[in-house]
Chain A
């Protein structure tokens, strides 16, 4: 009863009794009533007071009751579970593995996607890029004057600063000079990012520009590694590329702008107004005005860019539009690949969890039937259906909690193992590990799982007809509830396993094909050296030519070096350039409509050094130098595309329409196709021009040798003899290739692991079901055996039953694969989910495993049936 009503009744009783007594004393009835009320005191106040007190008391009682129930449920659950250690162990292990898989993926990816950027209000930070109208590439860099113009006029921009990066030579009294990655920031960058130094201070606009100072901020990693975390580092002078810089601060370990491995930050000492407008090497970071989103900013900036293009057609006019990318995505050049990979892996892990839950649900159903008698007794003793369900769900929760703990432990180890496999230079916030967000995620998964796998058995157990069926003894028939539910579960399980195994199969196939991929060159025998002779020492083309000629001569003389060459942009190194071209007969076509092709500039000996073949004509020679006629080499695919019915050797081509005045080149050779971009399997058509006719400052020297790693020291010292101050970056070509493809290989490995797990779980589930069914039909089998049915026939019957389930599940799974494949295909180009080979193999393996499981189950079943008969 409502508290207030109860109190009113209680007080009414008192007042009535009082009134009665007063009447007996001689009071007239209505006056007695009034007098009773008067003597009582304030009835209203008392009613309120007592009603509130009652309400409080009742809710306290309810709460206590709930806690008592919960404690009881937990104790009971723990006791029941410890009584069936086999069941508990299987469930916990199954769930733990699946939970661990999910937590691992999340944990590895958390530094890339989840952890907040260590910058103030990071969601307002974006990076800008210029858009190339022909190719659509939208991450081209700005020049300082361009950025100044934008800063003045853009209303979406609250603040802007820009940076570029490269390597520098670091020397001081500490020890050996080393080459480090450093970034040059314009004065306002630390303000834009809204970060402070951990030790000392950062630099501001006062230290930048021609009137500024040569200061430097160190990264935490450099401070610890080179200076042993010396607290007196501030004020020390260190030499960067020969110039003394004063250390004014050290950043915290979380600050790794613009990528991990960056060791120093120095202010940009150039005068923004006197820098050439065409020198575009700056990446602008913008803090958008509060409330302005990236799209709105892009619109405004694009309009501004068009104005600037009109004013400066030779420089700004070559671009059309400005891209605005959130900083997190911009800093991570592999963002798209990583996002896709992450989604796929997390999806696969979720699938695995689903399979695990289905498996556990099946086990739970079987157990529920086995406990039917116990449940019936408890129902008879008055346990409500709700209470029963709650009880069984508590069991599921306990199982899940234990599994979650175990899973978290496994995950913390797995994260540590998997995380280092992701390439180092992808931007991330801190190291992967078991942090709060991963723990929250694991907790969420752990709490969600029991709802999925615990509900079905709990609900089935609580149904009254189960109790009735149990009273009739063992042997529910084919159509009985729990059996049917379990069969459905196996079908679902098989379907999910098919999806996962197919996905894994596809991944394995992709992986295998990349390994066996013909790249068009032999990376395992190539060592690369990245060199950037600075303008201060090598002012013009002549100096560059001299340096590189001497460097190549030295390297060629090294024992172990079979061939040397040079190239402007190393293949598979995330740098791909294009140029326009037109056939002589199409020269009149406006340059905007010219076709474009990937291109590169290579030196003499390049193709030989890379292990690529020349298919026709000749390679570049020393004579193809600055004053000589312009020549070019085309790749085989380009030859087929442009000159389908004849050899291109000797043909001429117009090149470079939009970059400047077009000129003619003569094709002198056809090279084999080489893989240049990350799009594995797609060896793009390429146009090569001699690097001496179009020199660049930074080049990659490639050395052909038997064992690239062994030659590293010799190459380095040979080059240092040519110029001891030059920063060098040596990398064996296999490392370059591996880094290009690592996303692939990592995903493939993980997916394959998941596929295997899924397969095992499906097999487990199936054999479990069959064993259970056989146990259920023991009596029936015993009778059949007694009546002369051959054991072989019984076994075939059981097998057929099991296989029927598998076939239905496989069909469902196939349909799912085709649907999901279409979805995946729209996101990841090149995926063919309906690839028949993969699907057939996946199905074949699944059927084989299922068949094996069924066989084992029926073998056991036969023995049990014979026993059953004897027992009767």
Chain B
């Protein structure tokens, strides 16, 4: 299986979009560009998955949305991190990192 086609750990995409929104409200396309820019070489996150994640975290109350105007004055849906979302990101994001480091340590030690 090629690196790009490996399936992600569940919940990863949610964390990714939350992280992107940390720096401020954005619309879906913007989020997609940033995600692809940062991760496109190693893993591929389809836009479909991104949008599903966005709606999921909105339903969970981790983000809110408003309709506004894009850079070229088109109607677009902007997402913004809520306080609850911020807390969730810190907690789960931290847990993800800790888990990853632990796995890396194991792998690191196991390497010949």
Contacts and interface: CB of A to CB of B under 8 A. Distances in A.
Interface residues of B, number: 20
A50 B50 CA distance: 11
A270 interface: no
Interface string B37-76: 0000000001111011011101100000000001000111
B59 A53 contact: yes
A152 interface: no
A41 B36 CA distance: 14
Contacts of A679: none
Contacts of B56: 53
Assign chain A's interface to a size class: 20 to 34
A10 B70 CA distance: 12
A49 B54 CA distance: 11
B25 interface: no
A45 B29 CA distance: 18
A9 interface: yes
B77 A13 contact: yes
A280 interface: no
A40 B49 CA distance: 9
19 contacts: A9-B77, A10-B28, A10-B77, A11-B51, A13-B70, A13-B74, A13-B77, A14-B32, A14-B47, A17-B70, A18-B29, A39-B46, A40-B48, A41-B48, A43-B48, A45-B48, A56-B59, A57-B58, A60-B59
A53 B55 CA distance: 6
Interface string A379-395: 00000000000000000
B39 to A, nearest CB: 15
Q: Which 4 A-B pairs have the closest CB atoms?
A: A41-B48, A41-B46, A53-B55, A50-B55
Contact of A41 (B47, B59, B76): B47
Main secondary structure of the interface of A (DSSP, over half): helix
B86 interface: no
Given A11-B51, A16-B74, A56-B59, 4 more contacts: A10-B76, A18-B32, A45-B48, A53-B58
Contacts of A43: 48
A790 interface: no
A13 B28 CA distance: 9
A39 B76 CA distance: 20
Say whether chain B's binding surface is mostly helix, strand, loop, or mixed: helix
Contacts of A10: 28, 51, 76-77
Contacts of B55: 7, 49-50, 53-54
Interface string A1-39: 000001101110110111000000000000000000001
A173 interface: no
Contacts of B49: 41
Contacts of A290: none
A339 interface: no
A328 to B, nearest CB: 56
A46 B49 CA distance: 8
Contact of A9 (B29, B48, B70, B75): B75
Contacts of B52: 46, 49-50, 53
A55 to B, nearest CB: 10
B48 A13 contact: no
Contacts of B54: 50
B27 to A, nearest CB: 7
Interface in A635-668: none
Interface of A: 6-7, 9-11, 13-14, 16-18, 39-43, 45-46, 49-50, 53-54, 56-57, 60
Contacts of A60: 59
A298 to B, nearest CB: 65
Interface in B10-26: none
A14 B52 CA distance: 13
B47 A40 contact: yes
Contacts of A9: 75, 77
B80 to A, nearest CB: 15
A463 B29 CA distance: 49
Contacts of B59: 53-54, 56-57, 60
Contacts of B70: 13, 17
Nearest to A17: B29
B73 to A, nearest CB: 12
Nearest to B36: A39
Given A53-B55, A53-B58, A13 B75 contact: yes
A139 B54 CA distance: 79
Contacts of A7: 55
B20 to A, nearest CB: 15
B28 A14 contact: yes
B53 to A, nearest CB: 10
Given A17-B29, A18-B29, A53-B56, A42 B47 contact: no
Contacts of A16: 74
Nearest to A42: B48
B82 to A, nearest CB: 13
Nearest to A6: B77
A50 B49 CA distance: 11
A46 B58 contact: no
B58 to A, nearest CB: 6
A18 B46 CA distance: 13
B29 A46 contact: no
A14 B48 contact: no
A39 B27 CA distance: 18
A245 B9 CA distance: 82
Contacts of B46: 39-41
Contacts of B29: 13-14, 17-18
A43 B29 CA distance: 14
A18 B32 CA distance: 10
B77 A39 contact: no
B47 to A, nearest CB: 5
Nearest to A54: B55
A54 to B, nearest CB: 7
Contact of B76 (A13, A53, A57): A13
Contacts of B58: 53, 57
Given A18-B29, A41-B46, A50 B74 contact: no
Contacts of A13: 27-29, 70, 74-77
B107 to A, nearest CB: 31
A709 to B, nearest CB: 79
A232 to B, nearest CB: 66
B45 to A, nearest CB: 10
Contacts of A53: 52, 55-56, 58-59
B74 A39 contact: no
A14 B49 CA distance: 13
B50 to A, nearest CB: 9
A50 B79 CA distance: 14
Nearest to B30: A17
A316 B101 CA distance: 102
